[in-house]
Amino acid sequence: MSRILRILSTCTLALAAGISPGQITSFVTFGDSYTDIVNVGDGGTAWPVYLAGYTNTTLHPFARSGGTCSNLITPRPFPSIMESQLPAYFAAVQNDSLQVDAESTLYTQWIGTNDVGVYSLMTGSNAASIVDVETCKIEWVKILYESGARNFLIQNMVPLNDSIVYAPYWYPNRYYPEEHNATQWGVYMAELVLSGNKINELMLEALAPTLPDAHIGIFDSYSLFSDIFQNPGEFLNGTAPLNVTGCVAPCVYDSSNPGNAPVCTSVNGTDKDSFLWYDELHPSEQADRVVAAQIAEVITTGANKYTRWLS
């Protein structure tokens, strides 16, 4: 009998993992230009705006372009989560300009692109490690949980080695115009992203049982973007030939005259929706619509192909 009770208890816990359908009525975003709704990285409308429309939920945006998890780990002259975005959130709560209900609010985090990128871990511009970056992401959960937050969705890093900045088909661009071994960079970036995502997953798995009443989910951005890259016809719907290695708005430097201004062009109209990337680093608006649609499914049904609830 005790064995049956243990099995039933395990099943009950499994069923309790994650948010309930319709539970979420508002969401709070933290991150970088992949999520910023003002300085939009996709050249159009950011995914949180689409998500709010798809789900009829209220968006509270704190993500800021250029940000990292912490400027004490990977310093950049942009608003980081720890030193800028979280203080801005708590200030808004303190002065009552932001009122959130813990039960019905989802907190999202999508950070890492700048932390592991050029002028940071990728180029050895500081003494930090990928472990430091991932530990910071976990601290974000702890800090918000201690303040009363209970629902968390952590979006892991995309395969940045597929973006033009870090791909073997790199060309001198606005984000990094200097010559380098592009193949080597691609391999190194793949290792940084894969190891960072796995470290984050293991840390979250260890953290989840220690936070009573919390719902912690991992949204697998890596797998989603890999699927778009490998099967673009299932996700991209523009009027131009589907393209996962180019971008909507390239800016190309003349490698023989790197001091000159880059030559920038742009794809127009519905042709833009045929691209995975907006520029050499950022996802396209169509890719952001896909992200929003997948997370909308999480909010409306509590489950999704790319989401794993740990608690």
Identify whether 179 is part of a domain: yes
Identify whether 51 is part of a domain: yes
Query: Which CATH number fits the domain that encloses residue 294?
Result: 3.40.50.1110
Identify whether 94 is part of a domain: yes
Q: What is the DSSP string of 69-121?
A: S-TTTS--SS--IIIIIHHHHHHHHHTTS----GGGEEEEEE--TTTSSTTTG
Give the integer Cα–Cα distance in Å for 237 and 149. 37
Identify whether 227 is part of a domain: no
Identify whether 132 is part of a domain: yes
Which two tokens mark 145? 């949980």
Cα distance between the two ends of the chain? 26
For the chain, the helix, strand and coil percentages under 3-state DSSP, each to the nearest 5: 40, 15, 45
Split into its structural domains, the chain has a count of 1
Residue 256: the pLDDT is 73
Residue 257: the pLDDT is 72
Which two tokens mark 216? 């912690």
What string of pLDDT tens digits covers the 311 residues of the chain? 445 444 434 443 444 699 999 999 999 999 999 999 999 999 999 999 999 999 999 999 999 999 999 999 999 999 999 999 999 999 999 999 999 999 999 999 999 999 999 999 999 888 899 999 999 999 999 999 999 999 999 999 999 999 999 999 999 999 999 999 999 999 999 999 999 999 999 999 999 999 999 999 999 999 999 999 999 999 999 999 999 999 999 999 987 776 788 999 999 999 999 999 999 999 999 999 999 999 999 999 999 999 999 99
- At 143, the amino acid letter reads I
Identify whether 190 is part of a domain: yes
Identify whether 14 is part of a domain: no
Identify whether 198 is part of a domain: yes
Tell me which residue range forms the domain holding 187: 23-158+175-221+286-302
Per-residue CA distances from 184 to 30, 180, 230 (Å): 31, 9, 22
Residue 127: the pLDDT is 81
